[in-house]
Structure formats: C-alpha cells, structure tokens
Amino acid sequence: MAHVPLIALERLHKTYPAAGAQPTAAAVVALNDVSLRVAPGEIFGVIGRSGAGKSTLIRCVNLLERPDSGTVHVHGVDLTALTPQALQQQRQRIGMVFQHFNLLQSRTVAGNVRYPMELAGGRSPAEMDARVHELLALVGLADFHQRYPAQLSGGQKQRVGIARALANEPQLLLCDEATSALDPETTEQILSLLADICQRMHLTVLLITHEMHVIHTLCDRVAVMERGRIVEQGAVIDVFLQPQHPTTRGLLANAGFLLDEGEATQGGQPVLQLTAVGEAAQQPLLDLLRTQCGLRLNLLEGRITRIKGQPVARLRAEVLGADIPLADLPAAVARLGGHAQWLGAAQGAQA
Ligand SMILES: Nc1ncnc2c1ncn2[C@@H]1O[C@H](COP(=O)(O)OP(=O)(O)O)[C@@H](O)[C@H]1O
Ligand SMILES: [Mg+2]
C-alpha cells in the first residue's frame, strides 16, 4: 500500500468472560486474530451478522474496548501504549457515531454538539458557538439549536450525532450501525449526508453494519466478519461480483444480489449470465449483441446495483439462438466491455 495506513489493527483478540455465575458457562470470543488496515481517505465497511464481533472491533479502534492482545495504531500512534491522558487526546481526533445516537437528553441540540469541544478545551465560547452553527447547518439542522433530543425524529437525532462526532475536526470517523435504527427513507438521507461530508472533509471512515446496502452505497473496501474473524475482504466491487466465502455469499443472496450459481437451464436452453460494470453497463449491451451476433435472449432475471454510484448490471437469460457459435459469445460480450458466463449445466451446452 502506498500510504501509511490511518488505522492498523494487528492480531486483535478479545474474549468476554462468561455471563452469570455458573462455572460451566463458556467465555465469548468476540475477536479472534483480527488484523485490518484502513488507508487515509478510504471508506471501509465491516459487515457481518449480529454477534459477529463488529461492535467490539470498532470500539477497539478508540479503545472504548481494550483488546486482550494485539496492537491498535491510529495516525501511526500505538494507542494501547498511551497514558490515559494521552489516549484522551488521541481520541479527540476520532469521531464516533452510534446506532442509538447516545445524545445527552438534558442538553439542547447545540449543547450536545458543543459538548466534545468543551471536553477538549482550547476554544473560546464564541469559537465553539461558531463551530456549532457551522456544523448544524452542515447536517441540515440550522433551525434546531434549542430543541432537546426528545423533540427530534430518529433521523434528526442522528444528524446531531454526526455533527457532534465532527465537532473537534477529526480526520477519522467511526460509525457503529449509524443507520440501523432508522427507516429506509431516513437511512438513504443519512447515507447521502455521510457520503457528502466524507468527500467534502476528506474523512477516513470505518463503519460497521449488518446491511449490504450500506456497504455498496458508501464503501470503497469491505471486510466480512463471522464469529470474531474476518473471513473475506477486498474492494467492494470485487467482493460483490466474486464473493469467496459462504458467509459473504449468504449476505449477498439475502440482499437480493445474483450470485454465480443460478438456474442451470430453462427448458433445455443454455443460460447465460451477463455482467457489466460502469460504462459497459450504460450502453445498450443487449441491443449490440442482437445486431452484432444475432443473439436472441429470453430474459430470466436481472438486477442493477450502484456501487458508490457506479452501475453494476447482472442479468440471466436463456439463449434461444445466435448467428455465431455459442462458444464464441463470451468473447463477443468481452469485446463490448462486459463479462459472460454460462451457468450450471448449460456449460455443457456451449460445446
Ligand atoms: N460487554 C460484553 N460482555 C459480554 N459479552 C459481550 C459484550 N459485548 C459483546 N459481547 C458478546 O461478544 C460477541 C460479539 O458482540 P458484538 O461485538 O457486539 O457483535 P456485533 O456488533 O457484530 O453484533 C457477541 O457474542 C456478544 O454477545
Ligand atoms: Mg453491533
């Protein structure tokens, strides 16, 4: 990697003692040899099912949770080796957004956003007020300074949470299921706010989620967690198009993505899967294949997803016939910038 990573987690282990008094109860291994690097400016997502260890992992990055072993470097500093005071200072460079907002109920919206600046010190009251104004305008709450958290919707509460996380101008933002308590429409709004803010402020983000949708909307890279381990990681587009681990495949299938294994044949006709990314997905691929190769298709299913705004199209179709040998079709699709693959038993049909 060209850059020094902004976050470097090396071989983290974390075990929680067994709950309750019974000596037979097993301890919970929440992190099992987890290493992760996040480059400056990158939006890195960690996805996994409930209980996979995601919250434990993200809380280790600012040592809200201390790993039993392993090292945590942020901005090149080993946080595990710091005095409490030095750790406090480093934490001010890390913003955090929580699933349940964690707002102070007794403080107004403005008071909540001001709070981390008061803790950090170093700003005059006028400077803090100016920063509060700036941040609340940024998150679309310019008219809400004097409201209390109880008077806000979930989406508004999370906007306050985001403004508060940014108060001390962190370069790194940690998001623990930031949209999981919100309805789908509000989720969209908060995700686009986060995308906008990250781009404008050149933030590095580590986020955790159980929703695939969050990953492909926001993230550059993704790691998949299962039972305290990272089982797969890579660029979002690669993981989406070629998931390797059964857990990843399961998460993608649940989110409605078409995986490589599909219906083999329909009524004895070979089934072709076409995948097109970016520009290739924006041209009339099917029309070009019809005019250039005489390809006649019966569409079975398809899906267009946007990965960070870039279209990724995948569709499956029965091949009814073509003017070129069927075995030459994948190469013809490749010449148009797409990717074609015979599915299941249809592989035999291409010969
Ligand atoms: N403070 C804690 N005490 C005991 N067990 C915990 C604690 N926090 C998390 N766990 C357990 O550790 C595992 C991982 O939890 P968590 O990191 O919250 O997963 P996720 O965020 O992926 O749902 C789970 O089995 C959970 O029950
Ligand atoms: Mg969690």
pLDDT digits (tens, 9 = 90+) for 315-347: 999 999 999 999 999 999 999 999 999 987 545
Question: 268-350: which CATH number, 3.30.70.260, 1.10.3720.10, 3.40.50.970, 3.90.1150.10?
Answer: 3.30.70.260
Residue 263's pLDDT is 59
**Domain ranges in the chain with CATH number 3.30.70.260:** 268-350
Euclidean distance between CA atoms 122 and 260, whole angstroms: 56
Distance 208 CA to ligand 2 centre (A): 8
**Cβ proximity of 38 and 44 under 8 Å:** yes
Q: Is 54 in the pocket of ligand 1 (CB under 6 A)?
A: yes
Distance 304 CA to ligand 2 centre (A): 29
Which residue shows structure tokens 């200072």? Answer: 89
Mean pLDDT (the chain, rounded): 93
Residue 26's pLDDT is 86
Element (H, E) at 198: helix 184-201
Nearest-CA residue for atom 14 of ligand 1: 53
**Cβ proximity of 55 and 61 under 8 Å:** no
Distance 1 CA to ligand 2 centre (A): 29
Nearest-CA residue for atom 5 of ligand 1: 16
Residue 351's pLDDT is 42
Distance 52 CA to ligand 1 centre (A): 8
**Domain ranges in the chain with CATH number 3.40.50.300:** 7-93+170-254
Does the CA dihedral 239-241-246-252 come out positive or negative?
positive
What Rg value do the Cα atoms of the chain yield, rounded? 24
In this prediction the pTM is 0.92
Q: Which residues of the chain have pLDDT under 50?
A: 1, 346, 348-351
Q: Domain spanning 7-93+170-254: which CATH class is it, in words?
A: alpha beta
Residue 118's pLDDT is 97
Mutate to test the pocket of ligand 1, among 12, 50, 56 (most ligand atoms within 8 A of CB): 56
Q: Is 51 in the pocket of ligand 1 (CB under 6 A)?
A: yes
Q: Is 48 in the pocket of ligand 1 (CB under 6 A)?
A: yes
Residue 335's pLDDT is 95
Q: Is 52 in the pocket of ligand 1 (CB under 6 A)?
A: yes
